[in-house]
A = this chain, B = another copy of it.
Amino acid sequence: MSYRSIKLIKYPTQEFTPDVFDITTQAIPTPKEGEFLAKLSHLSLDPAMRGWMSPDTESYIPPVTLGDVMRASGIGEVVESKNENFPVGTRVMGLMGLTEYAISSGQGINPIPKELPAEAILSVVALPGVTAYQGLFEVLKPEAGQTIAITAAAGSVGSLVGQMAKNLGLTVVGVAGSQEKCQWLTEELGFDQALNYKDADFAEQLKSVTPNGIDLFFENTGGAAQAPIFERMNAHGRIAVCGLIADYQTDSPAPGPSWLNIIKKRLTIQGFTMPDHIHRFPEYAQALGGMLAKGKLKYRSHVIKGLESATTGLDLLFEGKNTGKLIVEL
């Protein structure tokens, strides 16, 4: 009995290319005392994975060691166990990597209920949801009546931020990279406005749909949308810096805006990453599960199939070609 894994064999120098990965086949191992063996059913492909492939020891978690299975979160089922906390049949979620099977001691792995579809879990209750929750509630501290701008608004995180903000009574302006995404935001998710940052007159459009300026900015992308949004910030505005996907693929990231506006408007800009807040995941997941059950959070997932699809699937993220949470079904 054998299984396949995707290993990182070199760090991408600039643009991600699938040849940084190698698919290896090996015998399925037997768990030792305290361990269990999980068979993965779904893998999550996330923008953060680009950072984990950078040999940058200063980042918030260490990069993946060359030769190791590529780090990724996923869902699986325990099929063999010498760990009483994870009996055979337990459904589990965690950073088990791009692999069909994984051995684990259980550290960082959580049992999850069997009822919810895997797509709902990976799209809402897992990393995208807790990220959206942390950034919106803990960093931006929204108040009804405020205007929020969200980049990568049709992405897995942005779409949840916008819906939660709308539920709180904010005016929600989403920024995305295609007409189709913008339509989904306004027609399906109830965003007040959705703009395509690729439009030549994006800055003018933004100005016209934010007559009262922008109070909160949930930043997922960097790139062309950043400066126009930054210019529209109101006094005492708050900015959560969650992602800069436009800059992940380059050795010389674009400069940020002048800090003059930070003084004039007394802005607060705060970066965050979720490993700092793992202790709050259960609380956030419960809140997100509740909103999902009440039909207050819609999501869409972009499912690709087979382990090998993960190697090329990551490119969809960096090119903005995925439509919804990118998931590999095994």
Give A residues with C-beta under 8 Å from B: 51, 56, 58-60, 219, 222, 226, 235, 241-244, 247, 253-273, 276
Contacts and interface: CB of A to CB of B under 8 A. Distances in A.
Contacts of A268: 268-271
Contacts of A267: 269-271
A271 B276 contact: no
A226 B262 CA distance: 14
A270 B10 CA distance: 38
A5 to B, nearest CB: 28
B258 A253 contact: yes
A242 B271 contact: no
A295 to B, nearest CB: 32
Contacts of A266: 60, 270-273, 276
Contacts of A265: 58, 60, 271
A285 B261 CA distance: 28
Given A269-B268, A272-B266, A259 B59 contact: no
Given A256-B257, A269-B270, 19 more contacts: A60-B263, A60-B264, A219-B259, A222-B259, A226-B259, A244-B258, A244-B259, A247-B258, A254-B258, A255-B256, A255-B258, A256-B258, A256-B259, A266-B271, A266-B272, A267-B269, A267-B271, A268-B269, A269-B269
Contacts of A256: 255-259
Nearest to A60: B264
A222 B60 CA distance: 26
A37 B120 CA distance: 72
Contacts of A242: 263
Between A219, A261, A270, the greatest number of chain B beta carbons within 10 A of the residue's beta carbon is seen for A270
Contacts of A60: 235, 263-266
A27 to B, nearest CB: 38
Contacts of A264: 51, 56, 58-60, 271, 273
